[in-house]
A and B are shown apart, each in its own frame.
Chain A
Amino acid sequence: MVEKGTYRVKSGLAEMLKGGVIMDVTTADQAIIAERAGAVAVMSLERVPADIRAQGGVARMADPARVKEILAAVSIPVMAKARIGHFVEAQVLEALEVDYIDESEVLTPADPQYHIDKWAFTVPFVCGARNLGEACRRIAEGAAMIRTKGEPGTGNVVEAVRHMRLMNKQIRLVLSAPPGELMSIAKETGAPYQVLLAIREKGRLPVVNFAAGGIATPSDAAMMMQLGCDGIFVGSGVFKSGDPEKRAWAIVEATTHYKESEIVASVSEGLGEAMVGISIDEIPPHEMMQVR
């Protein structure tokens, strides 16, 4: 009997993307540039985070016509962003047959309280998280892949680092704690107890965890890999820079060879201007995307 949409095929696709770079694209041309640079997948969205931040307004899922053009343009998997809690945007993206849905804080949330019930879908979901509690709640809701949130559209890696370090620290705690302390950790972190049991069984998060939000240079990508993430999401970092083709390739190379500083050094040469960065202190609290 053929079974579609099992959790194993959902989380399995994310396993296949490990060690790779997923790039935000708004057009088919950008998707082709990403594929040629060695991206393992592309993320379709209406505007890149830096533009959403600059222009303001409500950020929604991309125009289905655009998504279709991107689906037709490349053979690598195509992901697309839906607003947090907007299960109909997710239904539309599933009908378009995108390969993964990112229920993303980069877009304006559609539900102030609830995330999408991701078990109700055949298409898999990736969700952002700042800490273990968020990651485990999203997994319990059916997410088959996690990415740390960072602070999108800033070109500033500091929040991505903060979230990855915190997550790793909390996972170490879960793995080293005596069994009797697990329920209390569940209470303190807000992580469902069953997911913590799964972490102890696997010795790590039960799904793949990529880094995202503020990665703009090859060194940023290599640092996140050395901190232990499974792969990289680059949002505005590529197509808001001076030479997207060259930078895309350089970030991919640095992600693959993250432990080899000679390679990271050589691909970092002469990349032209990086995207303009924003200091996190300059962002008004209500414009922080990570708290969504």
Chain B
Amino acid sequence: MRIGVLAVQGAVREHLSILSQLGIDGRRVKKAEQLSGLSGLILPGGESTAISLLSRGCLLTKVGELAKKGFPIFGTCAGMILLADEIEGQEDAYVRAIDIAVARNASGRQVDSFEVMLCIKGVADDFQGVFIRAPYITRIGNGVTVLARHEGAAVMARQGNVLVASFHPELTCDMRIHRYFVEMVREHEKEEAIL
């Protein structure tokens, strides 16, 4: 199984390192053509403005097309902003792959960045969430399941093949969320095989 990590900028090597520990062939994706042959894609944390400006040509458009076809995608922090249908205070969104609205830097500036233990539906009830100038989910669309909340705010969600988190599992040694995503990718491969 080959899973790509969008490698324009940000916490790319952390995701690749976890994938490799899980025995998955992780690939850096900088261009649209590198999306072929992948079974899933991770959009890492970084600076969403920079990542969107620097994704050359039709990279993000292609990611959007794949998402519509049921291709499994996981976005953390900036990756979640890139995947959201709506971004507060901004007219345009980017990939539009999950029916949520997000607010940038909702947890505040860096001095308010924090760690907290999270209870994540279907994953773990003791996951250490690392929130860095984190975005929160402010609107949940139909068909979106909230998997975790912090002080009432939705911080992790899933709609079908798309998984998003406000925080950074890639900055911990805890691989349970990545395992959960790999399972999503396996399910999708099975479905594809039946078709």
Contact B113 A256 (CB under 8 A): no
Is B189 located at the chain interface by the 8 A CB criterion?
Answer: no
Q: How many A-B residue pairs lie within 8 Å, measured between CB atoms?
A: 118
Contact B116 A99 (CB under 8 A): no
Chain A 53-92 interface mask (CB, 8 Å, partner B; 1/0): 0000000000000000001000111000000000000000
Residues of A within 8 A of B77 (CB): 16
Residues of A within 8 A of B53 (CB): 36-38, 252
Residues of A within 8 A of B149 (CB): none
Residues of B within 8 A of A98 (CB): 109-110
Contact A76 B110 (CB under 8 A): no
Query: How extensive is the interface on chain B, given as a class?
Result: 35 or more
Contact B111 A16 (CB under 8 A): no
**Interchain CA distance A150-B30 in the complex, whole Å:** 29
Contact B49 A38 (CB under 8 A): yes
Q: Say what secondary structure dominates the interface of chain A.
A: loop
Chain B 128-161 interface mask (CB, 8 Å, partner A; 1/0): 0011110000000000000000000000000000
Contact A40 B171 (CB under 8 A): no
**Interchain CA distance A8-B11 in the complex, whole Å:** 13
- Given A15-B171, A40-B50, A76-B49, answer yes or no on A20-B114 (Cβ-Cβ < 8 Å): no
Interface centre among B30, B46, B105 (most CB of A within 10 A): B46
Contact B50 A9 (CB under 8 A): no
Is A226 located at the chain interface by the 8 A CB criterion?
Answer: no
Residues of A within 8 A of B113 (CB): 4-5, 9, 12-13
Query: How extensive is the interface on chain A, given as a class?
Result: 35 or more
Contact B111 A123 (CB under 8 A): yes
Smallest Cβ distance from B113 to chain A, in angstroms?
Answer: 4
Interface residues of B (CB under 8 A from A): 7-14, 30, 45-47, 49-50, 53-54, 56, 77-78, 104-105, 109-117, 130-133, 168, 171-172
A-B contact pairs, 6 of them (CB 8 A): A8-B115, A13-B133, A18-B13, A20-B10, A40-B9, A77-B133
- Beyond the given A13-B110, A13-B133, could you list 19 further A-B residue pairs with CB under 8 A, ordered by the A residue number? A2-B115, A5-B111, A9-B130, A15-B45, A15-B171, A18-B10, A18-B11, A19-B12, A19-B46, A20-B46, A40-B50, A76-B47, A76-B49, A76-B50, A77-B133, A97-B111, A99-B110, A123-B110, A252-B54
